[in-house]
Amino acid sequence: MAKQPQPISPLKNFFAGGFGGVCLVFVGHPLDTIKVRLQTQPKPQPGQAPLYSGTFDCFRKTLVGEGVRGLYRGMAAPIIGVTPMYAVCFFGFGLGKRLQQRKPDDVLTYPQLFAAGMLSGVFTTVIMAPGERIKCLLQIQAATGETKYSGSLDCAKQLYREAGIRGVYKGTVLTLMRDVPASGMYFMTYEWLKNILTPEGKSVSDLSVPRILFAGGLAGIFNWVVAIPPDVLKSRFQTAPEGKYPNGFRDVLRELIREEGVASLYKGFTAVMIRAFPANAACFLGFEVAMKFLNWVAPSL
pLDDT at 2 over 50: no
pLDDT at 205 over 90: no
Cα-based torsion angle of the residue sequence 126, 131, 136, 139 in order, rounded to the nearest 10 degrees:
-170
- In terms of pLDDT, which residue wins out, 7 or 289? 289
Structural domain of 170: 9-42+49-197+204-295
Burial 228-262 (b: 16+ CB within 10 A, else e): bbbbbbbbbbbbbeeeebeeebebbbebbeeeeee
Task: Indicate whether 246 belongs to any domain.
Answer: yes
Task: Indicate whether 4 belongs to any domain.
Answer: no
Longest dimension (CA), the chain: 66
pLDDT at 13: 94
pLDDT at 142: 64
Task: Indicate whether 15 belongs to any domain.
Answer: yes
Read off the CATH number of the domain in which 273 is found: 1.50.40.10
pLDDT at 154 over 60: yes
When mean pLDDT is compared across 99-103, 188-192, 199-203, the lowest value belongs to 199-203
- In terms of pLDDT, which residue wins out, 52 or 189? 189
Task: Indicate whether 151 belongs to any domain.
Answer: yes
Confidence of residue 144 (pLDDT cuts 50, 70, 90): low
Q: Which of 171, 2, 22 is nearest to 89 (CA)?
A: 22
pLDDT, average across residues 250-277: 87
pLDDT at 301 over 70: yes
pLDDT tens sequence across 94-132: 999 999 988 888 889 999 999 999 999 999 888 888 888
Task: Indicate whether 301 belongs to any domain.
Answer: no
Confidence of residue 6 (pLDDT cuts 50, 70, 90): low
pLDDT at 216: 96
Hey, is 150 helix, strand or coil? coil
Confidence of residue 143 (pLDDT cuts 50, 70, 90): low
pLDDT, average across residues 153-175: 91
Rounded CA separation 258/273 (Å) = 26
Structural domain total, the chain: 1
Q: At what angle do helices 172-197 and 249-260 cross, to 10 degrees?
A: 80
Task: Indicate whether 150 belongs to any domain.
Answer: yes
Q: What is the DSSP letter of 208?
A: -
Hey, is 92 helix, strand or coil? helix
Compute CA distances 230 → 72, 123, 192, whole Å. 23, 18, 25
Hey, is 56 helix, strand or coil? helix
Share of the chain above pLDDT 70, in %: 96
Mean pLDDT rounded to a whole number for the chain: 87
Q: Which of 21, 14, 100 is nearest to 282 (CA)?
A: 21
SS3 content of the chain, % helix, strand, coil (to 5): 75, 0, 25
Confidence of residue 202 (pLDDT cuts 50, 70, 90): confident
Q: What is the DSSP letter of 204?
A: G
pLDDT tens sequence across 275-297: 889 999 999 999 999 999 998 88
pLDDT at 218: 96
pTM above 0.85, yes or no: no
pLDDT at 134 over 60: yes
Rounded CA separation 248/29 (Å) = 27
Residues in contact with 159: Cβ distance below 8 Å, sequence separation at least 6, in sequence order = 133, 134, 137, 167, 168, 170
pLDDT at 15: 93
Task: Indicate whether 144 belongs to any domain.
Answer: yes
pLDDT at 3 over 60: no
pLDDT at 300: 78
Task: Indicate whether 300 belongs to any domain.
Answer: no
pLDDT, average across residues 204-211: 88
Rounded CA separation 23/26 (Å) = 6
- How far is CA 168 from its chain centroid? 18
